[in-house]
């Protein structure tokens, strides 16, 4: 991962007057993601599969990198439709590994197919959404700084174990905690962040500074 915010880093007030988590305060791409997506529930199998796949692609990288490549990844993986990805041939996987616009890691690309097949099998047991929802963590105190946010929890470890039992790969405890953050299962917006406790997007803004490419430890793991 890229260097996380230093311990004790608190929220940052931007030129628009809104206070945000420090990882989203300066980079326009991260700011828009923070204000319009991060922490909002996902309501479909496809969306949850995409989230699992993107968390897998992030392993060892920054979320900024994945987010910048997300449009290309969506195009390359047919919108992350599980039934389509599950039927990719080895030849298709090799073709994807030569695509210069995506993250060309053979193991991660193969994992997307593996996980698509696992998502399909889970339909007989209520679906991936049901499995993830069953590991919803209890409420936690609002963090005041980045140092207050864990990188994994008992709930994310239990979810990771359950997913592995169903054949998923690249779904470790840290990545699954990041998924819980991103999908609103646990709210790790800092206490003074304007997004804390909200479940609707904020109107996108246009900040003036663009040189910060960071995300919190708990959301930008190496795994």
Residue 8: band (very low, low, confident or very high) from pLDDT cuts 50, 70, 90? low
Q: How many CB atoms lie within 10 A of CB 201?
A: 14
Neighbours of 150 (CB within 10 A): 15
- Higher-confidence residue: 177 or 6? 177
Q: Is the pLDDT of residue 132 over 80?
A: yes
For residues 18 and 198, the answer to whether their CB atoms sit within 8 Å is no
pLDDT beyond 50 at 211:
no
Nearest to residue 67, comparing CAs of 58, 79, 56, 77? Answer: 58
Is 214's pLDDT higher than 80?
no
Is the model's pLDDT at 14 over the cut of 60?
yes
> Could you tell me the CATH superfamily of domain 15-219?
Hypothetical protein; domain 2 (1.10.340.30)
Catalytic residues: 33, 55, 63
- Average pLDDT (194-209) is 60
Tell me the per-residue pLDDT of 38-65, one tens digit each, with 9 for 90 and over.
999 998 999 999 999 999 999 999 999 9
Q: What is the DSSP string of 156-201?
A: HHHHHHHHHHTT--S--HHHHHHHHHHTTSS--S-TT-TTTT--SP
pLDDT over 70 (residue 113): yes
pLDDT at 21 over 60: yes
The domain ranges of the chain are 15-219
Give CA separation, 57 vs 28, 62, 116, 175, 220, in Å. 21, 10, 14, 10, 11
Please report the pLDDT score of residue 43 as a whole number: 84
Q: What is the pTM of this model?
A: 0.85
- CA dist., res. 169 & res. 181, Å (int): 19
Lowest mean pLDDT among 8-12, 77-81, 103-107, 184-188: 8-12
Quick: pLDDT tens for 149-185: 999 999 999 999 999 999 999 999 999 999 999 999 9
Instruction: Give the pLDDT score at 107.
Output: 98
Taking 70 as the threshold, does the pLDDT of residue 223 lie above it?
no
Task: Specify whether the CB–CB gap between 204 and 11 falls below 8 A.
Answer: no
Higher pLDDT, 6 or 33: 33
Output the pLDDT for position 219.
Answer: 39
pLDDT bucket at 200, cuts 50 / 70 / 90:
low
Give the integer Cα–Cα distance in Å for 215 and 223.
15
* Per-residue pLDDT at 1 exceeds 60: no
20 phi, psi to nearest 5 deg: -130, 165
pLDDT digits (tens, 9 = 90+) for 69-89: 999 999 999 999 999 999 999
């Amino acid at each position: 991962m890229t260097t996380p915010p230093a311990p004790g880093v608190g929220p940052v007030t931007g030129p628009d007057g809104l206070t945000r988590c420090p990882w989203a305060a300066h980079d326009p791409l991260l700011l828009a993601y923070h204000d319009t997506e991060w922490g909002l529930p996902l309501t479909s199998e496809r969306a949850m599969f995409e989230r699992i796949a993107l968390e897998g692609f992030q392993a060892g990288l920054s979320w900024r990198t994945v987010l910048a490549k997300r449009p290309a990844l969506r195009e390359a993986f047919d919108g992350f439709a599980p039934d389509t990805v599950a039927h990719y041939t080895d030849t298709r996987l090799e073709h994807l590994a030569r695509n210069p616009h995506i993250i060309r890691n053979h193991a991660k690309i193969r994992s997307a197919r593996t996980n698509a097949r696992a998502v399909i099998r889970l339909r007989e047991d209520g679906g991936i959404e049901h499995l993830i929802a069953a590991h919803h963590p209890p409420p936690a105190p609002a963090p005041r700084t980045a140092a207050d946010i864990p990188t994994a929890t008992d709930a994310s470890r239990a979810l990771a174990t359950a997913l592995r039992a169903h054949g998923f790969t690249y779904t470790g405890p840290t990545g699954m905690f990041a998924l819980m953050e991103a999908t609103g299962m646990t709210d790790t917006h800092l206490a003074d962040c304007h997004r804390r406790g909200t479940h609707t997007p904020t109107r996108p803004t246009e900040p003036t500074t663009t040189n910060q490419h960071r995300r919190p430890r708990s959301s930008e793991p190496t795994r």
